[in-house]
Structure 1
Amino acid sequence: MIKLLLAFFFGVGLAVLAFMAKPLLAPPPPSVHVSAEAAQAAVATRKLLAPHMIELMTADITVKRSIIDQYFYAPKINEARQLYPVTESVLEIDGVYTEVFTPAEGIPPQNAHRVLINLHGGGFALGARTEGRLESIPVASVAGIRVISIDYRQGPEHRFPAASEDVAKVYRHLLQTYTPEQIGIFGCSAGGLLTAQSVAWFNAHGLPTPGAVGIFCAGAGKFGTGDAGVIADTFGSSIGVDDDFAYFAQADWNSALVAPQEHPNVLERFPPTLLITSTRDFAMSSTLVTHQRLVEAGVDAELHVYEGLGHYFFADTGLPESRHVFDVIARFFDQELAAAEPLMPTAR
């Protein structure tokens, strides 16, 4: 009897694992509107991660980070470095580790007094010193502007508002050299949400609003809510989003510092905002709602939605769609950031 029970539970466990792994093992049909390169990249990523699915679902955070860094980020970072030449350096700012990315051909005169802050994605648990490189390299190269990527504190080791505090430290430091109008902030996924949280944090703590921000693969509220979660499940493009991030274990999602999306009085103080999402992104609904709320609050908000692509599709930096994204980002910050020589910082 015991053997039968063990066999039953073992079988159930295998069935559950197979169901959870299915989105990565059985790719959905591509949209007729995506490039052949994008369709191939989605399949390649699934095949790449498939052998590691059990560990990604069951191992501790250290192992998960190692797998994602080695098999997902590392090859994509190598490709980005070849396609988008930059110089890279390490800079510690008030105890916060950052990496600086500068266009290999130098910074053009109009960008000499501009700077971008990158806040990497990774579910507030992964991507430190890897996804930050992947997000920053193409933007620095295409936009011709210096990008500083912040290795902010994450869970499960740390809790909210540790990341917001780290971003504020770096921002305060940059305000000694740049006016707020010359500073832009952008991030994808968790970094997109953190970008919104940082603007709310600055306003709540007497810091001036930056010149412009980019919220990519995210909104200013919870991930995986609304129709986007259902769509992502249907197309197998969900990656197991869970509201219970370890980083937010002690946070209140009703707080404006956690989910600014639900607070019009906070959103109305946002600078010009670029939002980027895609139709198979589990975070699309949050992006769309955030854009709507920003427009209602009178903010200059620009939205780009890419057909048939999943969450953070531009991690594959050579795709035609990815190149379009980088051009959009470069144009946006060029239009919105002040280009004059630094003056004494002024409040907005």
Structure 2
Amino acid sequence: MKLTRYRRTVSIAILACLFGAPVFADSQQPGIDKSGAVTGPAFAIPYSTYASPEAAKMFQQVLADGKKTPSLLLGIEPSRTFYDKINTNRANRMQKIYPVTIHAETIGGVHTDVVLPAGGIAAAQKKRVLINLHGGAFLWGAHSGGLVESIPIANLGKIKVITVDYREGPEHVFPAASEDVAAVYTALLKQYQAKNIGIYGCSAGGVLTGEAVAWMISKKLPVPGAIGTFCGSIAEFSGDSVYTAPILNGQAVPNTPLKLASLPYFAGAKADDPLVFPANSPALLAKFPPTLLITGTRDFSMSSELQSQRLLDDAGVSAELHVWDGMWHSFFSDPEMPESKEAYAVIVNFFDRQLGR
């Protein structure tokens, strides 16, 4: 009798797995309403077994830092100070691993930081340049945040990286940042061919990268040779990850998930405007250059990245997507993890393959 019951249990488990309904010991079934919304009992989700030990340790620090984030109700300056301190620490750690030289330069009337590999630009990279657009919710991240995103890429790629101090909210609104990026880009076109210029950014910088390319297309400028949109891309933050990522990062499930269009920078802008979200226009996307997309399974922007890759692919654009298990928003801002090193290598390799084609 016990053997029969055992065989029946195993058979049910096998059938369930084969037909998409896996069975877990001691599991409780969640409730699902007609709209597909899921509710269920409290549960524990272990940290990813695919992530490195270094990532598991860093994840605890990320959670601790998240609890210290100042409220925007206090104004913008406390947040800018808070993130500048974190990013300055990251940039200092990066320079010990990836030596570079840094100098300020005004390009096209816009303040930038120029990051050069300490050993000099490689011969094969002298006719190429990368433009970085820092993250920070279109509110913070200038200088230190840009250095975090530029230092390892300049060093490993043996290439010049120019990180742009574009205008941010709440002092400025869309399309101020797109105009600044286009001004820097136009100035660089006097020295570099468009096919040899790459643009990339993370979070708000990833979104701005897409917006800037859309702006350039609207102004009849030649598109850059390749772009990278990391942890933020051409589509609004939405989908599963805006609900699942907060849970996986120890936060409450949001009643109203963050929308990019609700940020101060986008005051007065329309979410259906293709210059805000290029995903709104397949015809516009068809003119985009090869695009690299990077995210992680604990990144609230993951679904946006997946949707962006899908739409770019549908439009006939070469769109390369990389997703790291267990990784959070802008995970590669901390240089010590193997996953960060892998991301840097992916970025450098992508632009090396795509620029000049």
Is the Cα contact below 8 Å between 2:298 and 2:328 reproduced in 1?
A: yes
Residue correspondence of structure 1 range 1-348 to structure 2 within 5 A: 29-50=46-67, 52-53=68-69, 55-70=70-85, 72-223=86-237, 225-236=238-249, 241-243=258-260, 244-338=262-356
The structure having more radius of gyration, on CA atoms, is: 2
Q: Residues 94-132 of structure 1, C-alpha deviation per residue, up to 9 Å, x if partnerless?
A: 321000001001111100100000000000001011110
**TM (normalized to structure 1)?**
0.86
Counterparts of 1:29 and 1:60 in 2: how far apart (Å)? 36
Give the SS at the match of 2:328. Answer: coil
Counterparts of 1:74 and 1:136 in 2: how far apart (Å)? 13
Change in Cα spacing, 1:251 to 1:238, as seen in structure 2 (3 Å) is farther
Counterparts of 1:173 and 1:111 in 2: how far apart (Å)? 19
Q: Residues 46-71 of structure 1, C-alpha deviation per residue, up to 9 Å, x if partnerless?
A: 32453x34x3353210111111211x
Counterparts of 1:201 and 1:49 in 2: how far apart (Å)? 34
Is the Cα contact below 8 Å between 2:105 and 2:113 reproduced in 1?
A: yes
Q: Residues 227-255 of structure 1, C-alpha deviation per residue, up to 9 Å, x if partnerless?
A: 01111122126697344100001111101
Give the SS at the match of 1:279. Answer: strand
Counterparts of 1:193 and 1:237 in 2: how far apart (Å)? 25
Change in Cα spacing, 1:88 to 1:233, as seen in structure 2 (3 Å) is same
Counterparts of 2:107 and 2:128 in 1: how far apart (Å)? 18
Give the SS at the match of 1:168. Answer: helix
The CA deviation at 1:218 is 1.1
Is the Cα contact below 8 Å between 2:209 and 2:233 reproduced in 1?
A: no
Is the Cα contact below 8 Å between 1:219 and 1:289 reproduced in 2?
A: no
Give the SS at the match of 2:298. Answer: coil
Counterparts of 2:266 and 2:251 in 1: how far apart (Å)? 20
Give the SS at the match of 2:306. Answer: helix
Counterpart residue type for residue 87 of structure 1? T
Greater helix proportion: 1
Query: In angstroms, what is the RMSD of aligned CA positions?
Result: 1.6
Is the Cα contact below 8 Å between 1:237 and 1:310 reproduced in 2?
A: no
Q: Residues 259-287 of structure 1, C-alpha deviation per residue, up to 9 Å, x if partnerless?
A: 00121001100111111111111001110
Is the Cα contact below 8 Å between 2:108 and 2:186 reproduced in 1?
A: no
Counterpart residue type for residue 281 of structure 1? D
Partner of 2:20: none
Counterparts of 2:144 and 2:271 in 1: how far apart (Å)? 28
Counterpart residue type for residue 178 of structure 2? S
Counterparts of 1:65 and 1:251 in 2: how far apart (Å)? 24
Counterparts of 1:47 and 1:237 in 2: how far apart (Å)? 10
Give the SS at the match of 2:327. Answer: coil
Is the Cα contact below 8 Å between 1:219 and 1:261 reproduced in 2?
A: no
Give the SS at the match of 2:229. Answer: strand
The CA deviation at 1:28 is 6.8
How many residue pairs match? The answer is 309
Counterpart residue type for residue 338 of structure 2? P
Counterparts of 2:120 and 2:355 in 1: how far apart (Å)? 19
Q: Residues 282-331 of structure 1, C-alpha deviation per residue, up to 9 Å, x if partnerless?
A: 00111001101111111111110110111000011121000000000111
- In structure 1, list runs of 5 or more residues that go unmatched: 1-26, 340-348
Give the SS at the match of 2:113. Answer: strand
Counterpart residue type for residue 244 of structure 2? I
Counterparts of 1:289 and 1:308 in 2: how far apart (Å)? 19
- Structure 1 residue runs of 4 or more that deviate by more than 2 Å after TM superposition: 45-50, 55-58, 236-243
Counterparts of 2:251 and 2:144 in 1: how far apart (Å)? 21
The CA deviation at 1:190 is 0.3
**TM (normalized to structure 2)?**
0.84
- In structure 2, list runs of 5 or more residues that go unmatched: 1-43
Change in Cα spacing, 1:154 to 1:196, as seen in structure 2 (3 Å) is same
